[in-house]
Structure 1
């Protein structure tokens, strides 16, 4: 296609991770497996925390929100990718593409803010333990979660509405496995200066702000841990934030990888691989990180499975008794 101008494009072509037909089936199997692990893993975290009164604390309240966001962010992009591979189609509608951009920005931004809020929670718990329950009250925690949601909605709505005002060229191939904002901007024929400016400002404010808060919180946490005299006390304090620190490292390293690879090398393939890491791999790993490194979560999961097994056994016994009673009435 030539580089014409079309303000009424009906859809785009997602080129995916590879155009080689021989690797489509392995890619389908890999991403389907990762998607199912992400959904069920994070859903188990949510159910375990919700059903266990011992975990009804502010730290696990934010972890529940994080698990919900991880399910949503992968559900925004992977199902469409799997459908396209299964149907051997690369098409995504214009509305579907804008929707992917809107919701991926929404949930990625919410994820970012939640990580910052969780860092603040650990900062208060370790650096100000005597005032923790007073400051981190239910009202403040609910307000922090609500503000995170509102800021993410405002950013995704602004970026999506500004994208809707642009006219696209007739070249509609997107070298990515989902509609990513930077890739979409490159397909625009009209002036994108304002869009690029808003993108860079939002990155600095909405990503740089939470990152600065996380770095400040952990600098204070580390200095407080160093001042603890006993080795056991240091280990106990560090263990309460080790899982979160690992999740933060995974998220920001991969997000920075996307922007650095696209800015330095201009390689769409490198940006795509980095996007896989923070949009797919990181949400999949989060349940394992929190369950394997957190004793409370492991015990809650054991209790949850134990209760589920007991309930399942009771249901089977009741069904069997009802079946026997029905057979006796027949005779």
Structure 2
């Protein structure tokens, strides 16, 4: 990423300091809320500091270096920017305040094998279906759900504390694992409908783009840390009377990791610049960025584990934890096959200049 501004450096130092001192990952989110660090990217009208996507990327890089599944992507990058557009509704303004205080956690549920269907009822809507791999779904109690309403895309705001929904969590390191959320004929009020038709399509596209960019930033943070850990290990570990760093073959492997990291960093900078472009240009650019991030994460992650030896595969080691997190992120917000497929099937071109 490009050089941090003074304000972004302060954010980085604050988050990195908390992550380095935290004893129980479950305490991370309450501490961030206590320090007033939630919602900083939101506009001032929604109670934020209007720091924008660049601040989210700084946070994501720091979280990536910890290798933990946290509510950050779900709440800060996906759900809260959407909620901030609906603050003219009193119930949404109240929810945003609860989220920024750490009392509630929000997420956005977009993915399913078969679309969730909403039908109108006398007192509101009835939703049925299963949302798959919902970010931080295991801990979220506020969910924005995409559904098909009368064959048109729609977005609904659900309070999971008030409805009967079934969660199935995935096994992930950290306090906020993803989960499937099943809605079996759940009834919600009329005010739960937040957007439909073209507006819903636009909001979903913006959220997906933001999620893809922030996922890539988290991946960069993880790759940065893996290279740092690997170089330190090669310098400290001795074999045959000399440090492992003295062996040319291992030096070349570390250099390959460095080259991949710097190429990925340049692509993320490009993605950040293209985030404000038209929807088509933004989508093509971010697919290209994610494609590169996935390839770099594979090489850097596998090389880090191989150069560490057996210790690199253990959950107790930071190397193993970050490798596991990167493996999950490689198939999140666009796996390589889907990114390549969209790029090949579209008539969009990506200008790297």
TM range (shorter): 0.3 to 0.5
In terms of fraction of residues, the more helix-rich structure is 1
Structure showing greater radius of gyration is: 1
Higher relative contact order (CA 8 A, sep 6+): 1
Higher strand share: 2
TM-score (norm 1): 0.37
* TM-score normalized by the length of structure 2: 0.35
